[in-house]
Structure 1
Amino acid sequence: MKGYTVPLSPRGIANLAPAPPWHYAGTVVSAEFFTDPAAATATLPEGLAPDPDYAGHGVAMFIDWQYSAANLEYLDPARSQYREFFITLDAHYEGTPVSWCPYIYVDNDSAMARGWVQGFPKKLGAVHQTRAYSVGGPGTPVLGPGGQFGATASSTGQRIAEARITLEEPVLDPAALMTRPLVNLRHFPRLAAGQHDKPAVHELVMSVLDDAAVSDAWAGTADLSFLPAHGEELADLPIRRTGRGFHYDLAYTVTDLKTLIDQSN
């Protein structure tokens, strides 16, 4: 049997996600927010601590993605294109500033499989965002001063997040948008009786992004809301105020991750 993720199969092409490298390119609509520091701390796994300088600070990101592996998967857009919404919260790992992802939603099963391998706690959702087109006209916002972009995320038919940003100025240092490494929790439980509390995998890991690049980055004002929904806890992070809004293109490659703490049984 061949393959990287399930299902393993005779020819190895039925698996949800092939082996890395995984290449990503996407357009981001994001908004900074500040929540209750205690609520943010409650989401942190063992090994992470609140960031004493940015308590309660986070970023909500809506991304229109395109993905490829080794076989020009982007030529199959039904498989390679997907949309995603997630939040990150500022934290510390052994005194180093990092970002922690407690919640993330995606509309593609292959993206979900790749995310679980990386430690992202992905759930199915519906994500949409305004697109900009260089042709201009009244059907598209400008990618420049005054350009307005909206974004929404839903889970099981319930709206959970909505954002609107208005661009004001270009970001002079786009690399500053990716200064914090992202930390995730790889968690795979056991089903055997008597071992439900002894996961087969429980690892705190740090993402490793190769050839990361940001382009066409703009900043402006932002409005952001997290909405209560049955079976969700995103709204347990009340938004006290918003910060800057951003619009940019992002690309990177994933072939690796760094294990920080392994508590697997």
Structure 2
Amino acid sequence: MHASPWIHRSFTAPFTTTGRSALVPPPPWHYAGWLLNVAFRFDAAAAAALVPPAAGQATGRGCVHFADWQATTDGHELLDPVMAQYRETIVVLELERPDGSRCMYCPAIWVDQDISMLRGLLQGWPKKMGSTWLTRSLPLDHPAAAPCRAGSRLGASLAVKDRRVLEARATLTGRPGLPLGFLAQPTIGAVGWPDLRQPRQLPEITLLRADIQGRVGGDWFDAEATLHLLPHPAEDIGLLGELSAEQASAGWLGITVTGALDV
């Protein structure tokens, strides 16, 4: 006896005939957010444990992005903000590709929203749960607003499993800033899913690049920053060792992810 085909409408689990409860709907995914970006130097050899050789070799430069995002598909999430808003910390490392070109690679990223976590895993951004906090800049001339002008001070932190991992402090200089990290260079990630029917076989890794369209904003504000990486018992990002902050910027950005491309 053969079962008749079951028509579901879910892009991701759970699979139902309505598709309403699927954790993530298909792209396009629209994002808008406020970011504090801190570029850093590190010992390039330390990245060998975090970067697939096929992706390239680390140059010793990287960036941490602390982000406060709002995301939507068709606009309905904006009417129910618990579905739209989240914060995350993104670490990207600059690589020299086998063909000599440069790109960024994401070895670690932490988020506080399950929807965003699954969207990231599908794109090759290895998201885990974590708690990100960062100072918001508001368009007010007020002591609590941290307006985008010289002298305003910003802070950001990441905690994973109740332990601090990253801390940043920044002071805006009043000068125009630069796009840094994934804002300035194409960024790739790794996708790999295990098969529990073969639990002793590790997944094969596929390199992908998110197909990003419709970028708006990006008038960045320059900052001087410090960055500290703290020891953590379960996070391999500590293998990078000491991070030395080079440049920093803050500002707003809007992008749309329409899918992913092979690298």
Instruction: Report the TM-score when normalising by structure 2.
Output: 0.91
The 1-side partners of 2:113 and 2:62 are apart by 25
Letter in 2 for 1:15: A
Q: Secondary structure at the residue paired with 1:47?
A: helix
Contact 1:25 1:66 in 2 (8 A): yes
Deviates more, 1:25-34 or 1:136-145: 136-145
Deviates more, 1:184-193 or 1:122-131: 184-193
Letter in 1 for 2:260: L
Report whether the alignment pairs 1:65 with 2:69: yes
* Residue deviations 1:14-40 (CA, integer Å, cap 9, x gap): 011111110000000111111111112
* Residue deviations 1:113-169 (CA, integer Å, cap 9, x gap): 111111111000110100122222222222111111000111111111110111113
Q: Which residue is equivalent to 2:105?
A: 100
The 1-side partners of 2:112 and 2:81 are apart by 13
Q: Secondary structure at the residue paired with 1:7?
A: coil
Q: CA deviation at 1:8?
A: 1.2
The 2-side partners of 1:122 and 1:156 are apart by 14
Percent identical across equivalent pairs?
A: 31
Runs of 4+ aligned residues of structure 1 deviating over 4 Å after TM superposition are: 172-177
Q: Which residue is equivalent to 2:31?
A: 24
Contact 2:220 2:251 in 1 (8 A): yes
**Aligned mate of 2:130, from 119, 125, 134:** 125
| Aligned-residue RMSD, C-alpha | 1.9
Q: Which residue is equivalent to 2:211?
A: 208
The 1-side partners of 2:231 and 2:181 are apart by 32
**Aligned mate of 1:181, from 183, 186, 196:** 186
The 2-side partners of 1:49 and 1:175 are apart by 19
The 2-side partners of 1:171 and 1:192 are apart by 54
Q: Which residue is equivalent to 1:40?
A: 47
Q: CA deviation at 1:174?
A: 5.2
The 2-side partners of 1:157 and 1:173 are apart by 33
Q: Which residue is equivalent to 1:249?
A: 252
* Residue deviations 1:202-259 (CA, integer Å, cap 9, x gap): 3111122101223341012110011111211222212342111110111110112111
**Aligned mate of 2:234, from 231, 234, 252:** 231
Q: CA deviation at 1:43?
A: 1.5
Deviates more, 1:230-239 or 1:154-163: 230-239
Q: Secondary structure at the residue paired with 1:28?
A: strand
Change (3 A) 1:178 1:39: same
Letter in 2 for 1:215: G
Q: Which residue is equivalent to 2:5?
A: none
Q: Secondary structure at the residue paired with 1:239?
A: coil
State the number of aligned residues.
255
**Aligned mate of 1:219, from 181, 204, 222:** 222
Contact 1:166 1:245 in 2 (8 A): no
Contact 1:23 1:252 in 2 (8 A): yes
The 1-side partners of 2:181 and 2:119 are apart by 26
Report whether the alignment pairs 1:197 with 2:213: no
Unmatched 5+ residue regions in structure 2?
1-7
Letter in 1 for 2:125: F
Contact 1:165 1:223 in 2 (8 A): yes
Contact 1:74 1:80 in 2 (8 A): yes
Contact 1:190 1:196 in 2 (8 A): no
Q: CA deviation at 1:77?
A: 0.6
The 1-side partners of 2:129 and 2:213 are apart by 26
Instruction: Report the TM-score when normalising by structure 1.
Output: 0.90
Q: Which residue is equivalent to 1:263?
A: none
Q: Which residue is equivalent to 1:157?
A: 162
Contact 1:62 1:84 in 2 (8 A): yes
Q: CA deviation at 1:12?
A: 0.5
* Residue deviations 1:93-123 (CA, integer Å, cap 9, x gap): 2322100000100000000111111111100
